[in-house]
Chains A and B, each alone.
Chain A
Amino acid sequence: MLINDIQDQLVEEFELMDDWMEKYEHIIHMGNELPPMDETLKTDNRLIRGCQSRVWLDAKEQNGILHFEADSDALITKGLISMVVRVLNNQPAKDIAAADLYFVDKIGLRSHLSSNRANGLASMIQQIKALAVHFNSAN
């Protein structure tokens, strides 16, 4: 599936919910579904700065395709990571580098999340994009 198709699917899921508690329930559910990250990967150099909770991100490249593993000690944050991973995991680095991640605004995450969390989410996306640019230019 293309990045935008997954984004559209995600936006659609949230459109069915009108209450933010329901949306958070869904975000937490997605967090719980995120495949567990290898504990040995939870190192300081994989920590993403700018989050109130701790967030680890690991990226691997194989034939131009990026694979992510991530985790957080906060469940809602983990749900947000899970959304980003769902959209970008196993996608070509060049597509990730060029992607417009409109799902964040369409779901209302940027306007609803506390500034801490919104900044954390933005840092996470920024980091993934920087990695994609790096891997893309390396190839």
Chain B
Amino acid sequence: MSAISTSTPSVSVESIRADFPILNETINGHHLVYFDNAATSQKPMQVMEAMNRYYFHSNSNVHRGAHTLSVRATDCYEGARDTVARLLNAASSREIVFTGGTTDSINLVAYSFSNGLLKAGDEILVSTLEHHSNIIPWQLAAQRCGATVKAIPMDAQGNLLINSYRELLSSNTRLVAVTHVSNTLGTINPVRDIIAIAHEKGIPVLIDAAQSVPHFQIDVQDLDADFVAFSGHKMLGPTGIGVLYAKESWLNQMPPFRGGGGMIQTGSVTIGNTLYNKAPYKFEAGTPNVAGAVGLAAAIDYMNEVGYDFIQQQEEQLLHYALEQLQQLPEVQLAARPEHMASVFSFNVKNAHYSDVATLLDSQGVAVRSGMHCTEPLLSHLQVNGTARVSFAFYNTLEEVDVFIKALQKAIRMLS
């Protein structure tokens, strides 16, 4: 991507695709069309090379040794933290905790809250749109302290009902945890309003940004979010690395999630007691995923070079074109059509099982996800057992949408 400058007009999908070797794979005799980006995005060479470079020249443990490689590794790791802080416009890198992924980030907050910040009778408010990873950690936390989990309802098109949300906020609500973008329907939630409404009552808000950070700019200060969780692997980075952004004031009052090396105040550990390191280190017990952080930073650099303007423009075009094409197929039913959508949607083919649709698409080289997408409450609300899901990334093309539509037509013919 060396030919691409930071100004958007010179970015082209062709030059971007050349950076993603896996897009040249042949699947079942067909050229791969990868439309399962909401599960895991593909990685550009720049990310893989940055990780290789780290292992070739800098690999060591961080924050520990006095030798040169340890200093290099620490610089790589803390440099990655700075890169994430800049991406989110965090007030300080101290507000960035590296985790194993979105699920890990949410479990950290939920566990920590259940350890002193929640009590019997308290309520945690999630939404019907949530991924299981933004429901179950709260259930576990609630069970530990006798709290309850409630959900903001949605309409039949997957839009959250903001008036009901206002009514559900009570003097017992301790935290609101909502997704920015639905991984199943693509709904973009009005998180700025959701945060402002909760803050009127002094209630903190956690945003599950796993499906938004890969697609558009998030400014945590502008949103005034208390917590933001996301994963590296959905935004061109490696698996096993994720981020928890949290306001420093929250990190300072939250107890640690895991104990171990690196999270203590040196000289404070006795068999009976320990004083903890300051945030974010208090939350990063054990040897961290340094190579993962390096890969994530390289992914952010890559996305910055492409630019969110280009990413958004490309993905909006793909979404509109795909929805337009699908409208021509009377057998296809969208699971919902939210008012504001990111580049992901779910559908079913009349009288056909979603797993059959996905299998026949795969046989023609088109990768989509099928099933419940870890959103069972959402699908129960829509009264469907499952769907096939298409999710785009900015390296996808309109020609690939054409291939998908043709493959889908063939699948429909075979299944009818």
Contact = CB atoms under 8 A, between A and B. Distances in A.
A127 interface: no
B353 A75 contact: yes
Contact of A74 (B29, B353, B363, B414): B353
Nearest to B371: A52
Q: Give the one of A28, A76, A77 with max B CB within 10 A.
A: A76
Contacts of A28: 414-415
Interface string A77-114: 10000000000000000000000000000000000011
Contacts of B355: 52-53, 74, 76-77, 114, 116-117
A25 interface: yes
Nearest to A29: B414
Contact of B363 (A21, A52, A77, A117): A21
A50 B168 CA distance: 38
Contact of B353 (A19, A21, A73, A113): A73
Interface footprint category on B: 10 to 19
A2 B29 CA distance: 36
Contacts of B363: 20-21, 24
B362 A21 contact: no
Nearest to B363: A20
Contacts of B414: 21, 24-25, 28
B360 A52 contact: no
Nearest to B353: A74
A52 B415 contact: no
Given A20-B28, A24-B363, A28-B415, A53 B353 contact: yes
B270 to A, nearest CB: 49
Contacts of A24: 359-360, 363, 414
Interface string A21-50: 100110010000000000000000000000
Contacts of B415: 28, 75
Most chain B beta-carbon contacts within 10 A, residue among A24, A25, A28, A117: A24
A19 B29 CA distance: 8
B105 interface: no
B364 interface: yes
A114 B360 contact: no
Nearest to B362: A114
Contacts of B242: none
B29 A52 contact: no
Interface in B299-319: none
A114 B357 CA distance: 13
Contact of A52 (B28, B352, B386): B386
B353 A114 contact: no
Contacts of A74: 353, 355-356
A33 B56 CA distance: 59
A76 B29 contact: no
A77 B29 contact: no
Interface in A10-26: 19-21, 24-25
B356 A76 contact: yes
23 contacts: A19-B29, A20-B29, A20-B363, A21-B363, A21-B364, A21-B414, A24-B359, A24-B360, A24-B363, A28-B414, A52-B355, A52-B386, A53-B356, A73-B353, A75-B352, A75-B356, A75-B415, A76-B359, A76-B360, A77-B356, A113-B359, A116-B371, A117-B359
Interface of B: 28-29, 352-353, 355-356, 358-360, 362-364, 370-371, 386, 410, 414-415
Given A77-B353, A114-B359, 14 more contacts: A20-B29, A21-B360, A24-B359, A24-B360, A28-B414, A73-B353, A74-B355, A75-B353, A76-B360, A77-B355, A77-B356, A114-B355, A114-B358, A116-B371
